[in-house]
């Protein structure tokens, strides 16, 4: 698997788009997986699967909060016994403009929304 995407259905831009995860999955196709994470507790299990499947890229769809929790939970998962003794490292991680402020995406020069980023 190349791309692992988490999408936060509670983000401002995703709240009124219940089909969001399905749409993103159609874009990434066989190259990746998209998982809707409805709570912070639902993130770690998804990231474990991404690591087991050797996803090269992690994409956080949902703004700064989604990116923060993806990185924080990802670092915690990497310290678990299953991964701590291996050569697995944090994949390249991309923010998207799916939140209210999108501070990180704006400051690193990300242009476009998740659909555009994933389609390239």
What DSSP assignment string belongs to 51-101? HHTT-SEEEEESHHHHHHHHHHHHHHHHTSHHHHTSS--PPEEEE-S-SSS
6/30 Cα distance (integer angstroms): 16
Q: Is the pLDDT of residue 61 over 80?
A: yes
Q: Is-contact 33 1, C-beta < 8 A?
A: yes
Q: Is the pLDDT of residue 17 over 80?
A: yes
How does pLDDT run across 33-52, given as a tens digit for each residue? 999 999 999 999 999 999 99
How does pLDDT run across 24-33, given as a tens digit for each residue? 999 999 999 9
Mean pLDDT, the chain, rounded, equals 91
Q: What domains are defined for the chain? A: 3-119 (3.40.50.10330)
| Predicted confidence band of residue 110 (pLDDT cuts 50, 70, 90) | confident
pLDDT on residue 29 = 97
**What number is the average pLDDT over the span 94-105?**
79
């Amino acid at each position: 698997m190349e791309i692992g995407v988490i999408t936060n259905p509670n983000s401002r831009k995703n709240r009124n788009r219940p089909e969001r995860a399905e749409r993103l999955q159609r874009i990434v196709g066989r190259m990746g997986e998209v998982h809707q994470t409805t709570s912070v507790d639902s993130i770690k299990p998804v990231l474990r699967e991404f690591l087991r499947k050797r996803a090269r890229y992690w994409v956080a769809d949902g703004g700064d909060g989604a990116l923060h929790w993806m990185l924080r939970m990802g670092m915690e998962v990497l310290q678990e016994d299953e991964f701590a003794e291996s050569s697995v490292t944090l994949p390249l991680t991309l923010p998207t403009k799916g939140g209210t402020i999108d501070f990180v995406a704006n400051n690193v020069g990300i242009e476009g929304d998740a659909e555009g980023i994933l389609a390239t």
